[in-house]
Every structure is written in structure tokens, then in C-alpha cells.
Amino acid sequence: MNNVNLSRRKFLVGTAVVGGGLVMGFSLTGCSTPELPIDKTAEGFVPNAFLQITPDNNVKFYCPRDEMGQGVSTGLATLIGEELDIDPLALDVVFAGAHSDYANPDFGVQMTGGSSSIHAHWTPLRQVAANTRAMIIEAAAKDLGLSKASLTTENGQVIANGNRHPYGQFIKTAMTLEAPEETALKPANEFRYIGKTFPRVDAVAKSTGTAIYGIDVDVPGMHHAVVRRSPVQGAKLVRVDKTVAQDMPGVTDVIEISSGVAVVATKYWQAKVAAAALKPVFEDVPLSKVDTATVRRDYAEAMKGDEGTTGPDEGDVAAGFAASSNTV
């Protein structure tokens, strides 16, 4: 059995994130630890859950956080590339599957959210990359009959006596070595990639339409559902004429659920079009009469009176601008 250690503080932080932001993920607590979900067809060196180096020097990075446009795949690949001494753009970035090793260190569960990815993985990912690089250097020293001190690395290659050898050349020996635990990390003044400007690792794929999004995933027999929910918080479904959608192309079912009505179809677009054709009626609740114009009117009226709490009022803004030598 696998139990993820989640402190009270991490639980409270996690639930706060769930209540106030976008979060994707799940917990594996209480489940048997599965085998690492890595590419079994690519033979190679797998020193940890995050890296796989093949004989042809393809370096896969199993990114533990979900990419939602925030650039996490580039950010975390940069941490790996820095300590592994390989250009992040040369990494084969693969999004990791379900496994406890991919739990977010800040929350103790496998989730993405709360702007935690870099903070949570700053040291752990750099450490696994540094440890892997150390194993490659040790393996190269054994294979080449040289001292480790005489070897350097650069962009996925070991440099020995002026000759360049790809990491993949030494993985067979590296597999026999015991992984170090606390290889020294680079000081900031030696960074080649962290803090530097370079393209996103997914820029080409997204620009050419080859990137795979969640909506692109398909499995045999897969159906898609689109839900029509109440436009007002808390309003329940009163009635809906299901027949409007039931006879539309691809639709396999129309189901009333607690939050509205769901249309199930063989294709996403079929479900979307059919759901849009429905005219569900939801119960009338107090919030139904609230709109932007009403809120603005209420705010304007409230500002005319003396009620309410005044926030801190310190300093003289006008004087500060007048005395400043530079104004942005």
C-alpha cells in the first residue's frame, strides 16, 4: 500500500488552492504503488522516475506537472537541463502518468495548481538531474579509463581529452552503478539555462498543430459529454425537453444530473451542438435577479454614504510623484 504523507498545513493550503484557483490532479493515497509509467519500448537507462536515456542519446524527461499554458513544461525542463547539462529544447518532454513519485512536494498529492510547480520542484528535479549526470560521468570514467575529474559535460555529451561522447554511450555501465543522493548543485553564477531567454519547449508543436491536448485523447468506445448548467449559482433544474437533443446526430443519451443536464455523444462537437439546442429551465433563486448593472448601482449608492470601513491611508501620493526624479 502507498500512503502519501500529507501534513495539516499542506492539506489546508491544498484546499485553499482548490477553492480559489485552477487545480488538476488526484491522490494515490491508499492505492497499491503501480509500476512507473515510462516508455517500455525505449530501452535505456532509467535512474529515477523523471529521466530515461536511450542508447541513441534520446533523453526523455517525464514532466510531473500538467501543462495548462502556464509554461510548466518549459520551466521544469529547464531545471532538468541545467543540472544534467543538456539544452532543455533537446529534451524529449513527456507528461508523466499516475504514480506516487510524481506527487507535488508542496501538497503531497499528484496535482498541478497554486503556482507551485517551480517552487515545489526547484531542488528535487535539479537534484535528480545532478545525480544522473554524476552517474554518467562515473560510467564514462570507467569506460574510458580516465579520472572523473578529467571529464566535463556539455549539452548531453561527455568531453574527454577534447573528444565528445554522447551520454547514451555510457548508459550500460551507468545501470550498474549505485545512484548518489546529494550531488552538489550548480551555483547560480554557473547557470546556462535557468534565468536565460529561449523558446518554449512546446512552441513548435503548438505552432504546427501537432501538440496533443486533453481533448485530443481517444480510446476505443469513448463518448463525450457536455453539461448545460444553470447560469446562476445554486439553481436546480426544473425541466428540460430531452427529445430536442436525443434525435441529433451522434447523441447516445441525455441525462439529468444534479447540476443540470448532460448530453452524451460519440464525438465532442456532436455533444456540444446538441447541448446548445436544449432549453433547460432552472428554478428561480434570489441571485437570478443580480447582474453586473445591479452590482455597479449598489456600489455607487454605497459610496455616497458614510458607512463602511476605510482602508489604510498613509503618505501623500501627489507629493511623492512631485518629488520623484523618475516617473513610470
| pLDDT at residue 3 greater than cutoff 70 | no
CA distance 285 to 80: 52
pLDDT at 208: 96
Q: Is residue 104 exposed (0-12), middle (13-18) or buried (19+ Cβ within 10 Å)?
A: buried
Q: Name the H helices within the chain.
A: 8-20, 72-84, 117-144, 171-174, 203-208, 243-246, 268-277, 292-304, 317-323
Percentage of the residues of the chain whose pLDDT score is greater than 70:
90
Answer yes or no: pTM beyond 0.85: no
Kindly list the structural domains of the chain, giving each domain's residue range(s) and its CATH number in brackets, ordered by start.
Answer: 8-203 (3.30.365.10), 221-286 (3.90.1170.50)
Percentage of the residues of the chain whose pLDDT score is greater than 90:
70
Per DSSP, which regions of 157-207 are E strands? 157-160, 163-166
Pick 322 or 22 by higher pLDDT. Answer: 322
Query: What pLDDT digit, counting tens, does each position of 166-219 carry?
Result: 999 999 999 999 999 889 999 999 999 999 999 999 999 999 999 988 888 889
Query: What pLDDT digit, counting tens, does each position of 34-90 carry?
Result: 688 888 777 899 999 999 999 999 999 999 999 999 999 999 999 999 999 999 999
